[in-house]
Amino acid sequence: MTEQERASVEAKVKNALQQIRPYLQQDGGDVEYVDMTAEGVVMVRLQGHCGSCPHAMMTLKQGIEQSIRRVIPEVKSVERV
């Protein structure tokens, strides 16, 4: 992935996270973009109640990751840091 392609995908990811954020905030949580690898793995930090919730992995994989991958096929997975 070229630097220009990476910047484009990164901007799309940040926009997608902005769309997801209100749903997380309703439950006292939030998500922060951290980085993206050259392989298309997005790193995020779950915050607030999402950071300590026992359902955080389900939120991450079935909520955040699926939403992002649906609109940005270049993203291979979303991981928590």
What does the pLDDT look like over 16-75, one tens digit per residue? 999 999 999 998 999 999 999 999 999 999 999 888 888 888 989 999 999 999 999 999
8 Å CB contact between 50 and 59: yes
> How confident is the model at residue 11, as a pLDDT?
96
Q: Which of 19, 20, 26 is nearest to 63 (CA)?
A: 20
Q: State the Cα angle at 26 between 28 and 63, rounded to 5°.
A: 95
pTM of the model: 0.91
In the chain, the domains with their CATH numbers are 3-80 (3.30.300.130)
Residue 1: pLDDT over 80: no
